[in-house]
Structure 1
């Protein structure tokens, strides 16, 4: 419930969200289930439950559509009310699967046709959301047109005539609303697992140095404060990864959200020099190879990804704080973990900590998760004093960004207790 929040007109930004009382660091100021959501297609190889979004080794596949998966019969039963119409549509185009945005807009349509209330619309409704389709380029409009055609094809067996849709519904507008207002749902390790619409949270404006962060517990969105916030002060989040140079941030924000950020960091181009430190040509060469590495990862070609990462790390003269070199270190670490090469994984992970402290300053969930991963590696390799120090650093961040009751924080506490016990037993 948004007891201490209110919608207001933010100067120069349109609608905004602010607190009605002084608020401390590390407080959940809002919590909500989504109006509608869907699992990301790219997680077909590492599937999550379509209802609770938890990842399990074995999932039950819907016997009708063969696409939706559930961790147990109970989740499948709970999901049926929202899945039954989608199920018919998925079955009609199998083995094809629609894009995330097509599947999400279809779910929004089915939700509207149910005419059921949603707590996620407490401050701002699905009808209030802005689409900004009048501001996008012709290229993007053309892409939205293709999505509209795909949506009509997907819905053909369940909604034969678009006149059956809610009054005033325009598919192009709703694809625009999804692009501008949806949230990427992440798991405990900040990996994307789904996309959802939380209308009231669309009131939050962007800042490259925000006073709040959003984390997820399954489907549930948690808005957490990471700074002291005064009464009637606006709440802000970062719409994008802050570990991006100013020009790229500006382009990304304008392309997707149709505005130009004028925060202090953008005006000063703060940290751009660090992010692109080193030789320009080397930076370009490494940047060009990152997409190839990510493709190898997605194909589970882990050994080849690691080999290429190690070649780049050994040959590149770029400092670790260069964001493209840092991305190589991240991929190398994750590849080593997948291959069980713990010592190498720790080596690459430790090299990432200084850049993480530079770019994810103060309280940031990504920084907390990286510290936790490295602490796990140290604990597994029985480097208990270092592990305890790293895990405590992770906890100091995570108790603010996630809260003590979050399942990931509880896992971290268990890991800390295990590490302390091992250290005492030495």
Structure 2
């Protein structure tokens, strides 16, 4: 349905691209894509259903591999075609477990062997995917060769050698394509939960200041416009997190995607001075601390994270403004820790400090800002700050109706809280 809006075209210097066949308003759903293949991240195993990616405290484990877990028999049955051969591979390598990229590559191989027809290839097939192999650094190639060897060991119970693969496909080539073309699947609150391949969406080119965004509903990818787009105008998304200085964005794009961005934001190096404001020794210490944080799995670990955040935020008071991106990440980390420890009042203090930097770095319609406003609004509501919560939730609504759409499950959650808040304001 939505593909009628999109048109594939040659994009000079970039391979192919996608453009709009008609004028598009902000907030339109341009494409809804099912994945060719996807996997849950290792960190989320046991918390989310392998099939629908929904959180469930009572998941049912696959009786064979004891790894995959599902929210019920329906999801397990639907997932069996993708899990059947994988199941034997997972059993065979125990107690080891494959990296997410290896498990995803395995699912791609099995699906190619089945010669499955997939709706996610309506505009671009897996065979068409670019690998950029000739532009990869030797370091990157060495890393991919190691992953290819890991994949071969992982699949050996089902595939003895590369002669069983489809013509012109080998394990190394699969990884070169996976690296350049996969999407990180996030939940409604923009937290990473999986990795997936959506071939048609690989046609989208990058801009640090894009006219479209991608959000997910379960494993479904939704492409939405965030600005007015003219007939024939190229559709762009951001391949990377934009909360980085220009030089860091360029390094990541060159390393993973083999190109340098020439958008206006990169040409002007806009907001770089604000992003690294404050004393250099202070933000470098904070940067190191943030990079060392791994997603905690227990309250004790969250307490340790919070103590580290509190110590650094206190010692850097007056040395780093909240607009410094590493200070902002530290505030976000402290807020997450407080929420997980149910310290609502302290979480709100940290959350309020993030709103101005979020407004500065995510202007216009950006899903990350919408989600942050929703989180702060929920915390204000929990503290009976109903007028303030209502104002924050209204701001979240105005952005989210464009970035997520009115039918998204997160938007429905927002509407429920907003209506409850309006009722409390009327009572007061």
TM-score, scaled to structure 2: 0.97
Which residue of structure 2 lines up, in the alignment, with residue 17 of structure 1? 18
Of 381, 384, 408, which aligns to 1:382? Answer: 384
Structure 2 partner of 1:50: 50
Per-residue deviation at 1:11? 2.7
Cα distance in structure 1, aligned partners of 2:294 and 2:52: 28
Is this contact kept in 2: 1:296–1:305, CA < 8 A?
Answer: no
Inter-partner Cα distance in structure 2 for 1:81 and 1:302: 38
Cα RMSD, aligned residues only: 1.1
Q: Secondary structure at the match of 1:262?
A: coil
Match of 1:400 in 2: 402
Contact 2:152 2:171 in 1 (8 A): no
Task: Report the CA distance between 1:267 and its aligned residue.
Answer: 0.8
In 2, the alpha carbon distance for the partners of 1:236 and 1:23 equals 13
Given that 2:386 and 2:424 are in contact with CA atoms closer than 8 Å, whether structure 1 keeps it comes out as yes
Q: Which residue of 1 aligns with 2:425?
A: 423
Partner of 1:28: 29
Per-residue deviation, 1:327: 0.6
Q: Deviations over 1:368-395 (max 9, x none)?
A: 0000000000011110000000001000
**Contact 1:296–1:304 at 8 Å: present in 2 too?**
no
The 3-state SS of whatever aligns with 2:126 is coil
**Separation in structure 2 between the aligned mates of residue 190 and residue 295 of structure 1, nearest angstrom:** 17
Q: Which runs of 5+ in 1 are unaligned?
A: none
Shift of 1:298: 5.6
State the 1:95 CA deviation.
2.4
1:41 corresponds in structure 2 to 42
2-structure distance, mates of 1:377, 1:24? 32
* Aligned counterparts of 1:153 and 1:17: Cα–Cα separation in 2: 38
| Matched residue SS, 1:412 | helix
8 Å CA contact 2:36–2:199 kept in 1: the answer is yes
Q: Distance in 1 between matches of 2:88 and 2:56?
A: 25
Which residue is 1:370 aligned to? 372
1:352-363 aligned at under 5 Å gives the runs 352-363=354-365
Pairing of 1:144-159 with structure 2 (within 5 A): 144-159=144-159
State TM-score, norm by structure 1.
0.98
Q: Which residue is equivalent to 1:118?
A: 118
Deviations 1:258-305 (A, max 9, x none): 00001111011100000000111111111111123x237366511111
Distance 1:103 1:296 in 2: 21
SS at match of 1:56: coil
How many residue pairs match? The answer is: 424
Partner of 1:323: 325
User: What is the match of residue 171 of structure 2?
Assistant: 171
Alignment partners' CA distance in 2, 1:161 and 1:247: 42
Structure 1: distance between partners of 2:236 and 2:297:
32
Which whole-Å CA distance do the structure 2 matches of 1:324 and 1:368 have between them? 20
Q: Compute the displacement of 1:199 (Å).
A: 0.3
CA–CA separation in structure 1 for the residues paired with 2:295 and 2:234: 42
SS of the residue 1:231 aligns to:
coil
| Deviates most, 253-262 or 2-11 | 2-11
Aligned 1:87-126 pairs, distance under 5 A: 87-126=87-126
Displacement after TM superposition at 1:248 (Å) = 0.2
CA deviation vs aligned residue, 1:66-106 (integer Å, no higher than 9, x gap): 11110111100111111101111111112221011111111
- Report matched runs for 1:263-342 at 5 Å: 263-292=263-292, 294-295=293-294, 297=296, 301-316=301-316, 317-342=319-344
Q: Are the aligned partners of 2:162 and 2:171 in contact in 1 as well (CA < 8 Å)?
A: no
**Structure 2 unaligned blocks of 5 or more:** none
- How many Å apart are 1:47 and its aligned residue? 2.0
